[in-house]
Amino acid sequence: MVGLYGQRWDVELDLRHLKTTLGMDILRCKTPSMVRKEIYVFLLAYNLLRSLMWDARTTYTTPPLRLSLQGTRHHLINFIPSLISSNFNKMPPNLLHFAKSYCSQGCS
Q: What is the pLDDT along the chain (108 residues), one digit of tens a residue?
A: 778 888 888 888 888 877 887 788 788 888 999 988 988 888 888 888 888 888 888 888 877 778 888 888 888 888 877 766 665 555 556 565 665 665 555 444
Instruction: Specify the pLDDT at position 32.
Output: 92
Mark 61-94 as b/e (b = at least 16 C-beta within 10 Å): ebeeeebbeebbbebbeebeeeeeeeeeeeeeee
Instruction: Specify the pLDDT at position 11.
Output: 85
Instruction: Specify the pLDDT at position 81.
Output: 76
Instruction: Specify the pLDDT at position 13.
Output: 85
